[in-house]
């Protein structure tokens, strides 16, 4: 279609790099192929995080891998910014020199 899109992501592996590398390799593909990417980019991000997690869990079980990752991604669609994150990774947006809060950080005491 004629809509400009841009995707950015950062992963922070825990207990090794396997999950972070896997996510960096597969999450953007799952986002791009998600059936809701055009109509509902936020749902495409959420669903793709879940699918990528399920895919890695299958691989980890099969190969006896023991790592995890946090992750944060930004998807720009036209003039809209969609953010998805897992764990304690965070995004900071600076607008005209001032930080704009986009998310509440993960804390153990939060539900």
Q: Is the pLDDT of residue 111 over 80?
A: no
Domains present along the chain, CATH in parentheses: 5-86 (3.60.40.10)
Predicted structure pTM score: 0.86
Q: Which pLDDT belongs to residue 87?
A: 84
- The Cα–Cα gap between 70 and 61 comes to 19
**Confidence check: pLDDT of 67 > 90:** yes
**Mean pLDDT on 17-31:** 97
Q: What is the mean pLDDT of residues 30-35?
A: 96
Burial status of residue 79 (CB atoms within 10 A of its CB: 0-12, 13-18, 19 or more): exposed
* Tens-place pLDDT, residues 74-106: 999 999 999 998 888 888 889 999 998 887 776
């Amino acid at each position: 279609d004629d809509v400009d899109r841009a995707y950015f992501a950062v992963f922070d592996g825990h207990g090794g790099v396997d999950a972070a590398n896997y996510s960096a390799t597969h999450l953007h593909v799952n986002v791009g192929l998600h059936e809701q990417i055009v109509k509902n980019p936020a749902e495409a991000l959420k669903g793709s995080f879940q699918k990528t997690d399920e895919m890695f869990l299958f691989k980890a079980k099969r190969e006896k891998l023991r790592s995890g990752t946090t992750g944060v991604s930004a998807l720009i669609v036209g003039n809209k910014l969609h953010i998805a994150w897992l764990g304690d990774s965070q995004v900071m947006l600076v607008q005209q020199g001032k930080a704009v809060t986009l998310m509440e950080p993960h804390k153990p005491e939060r539900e």
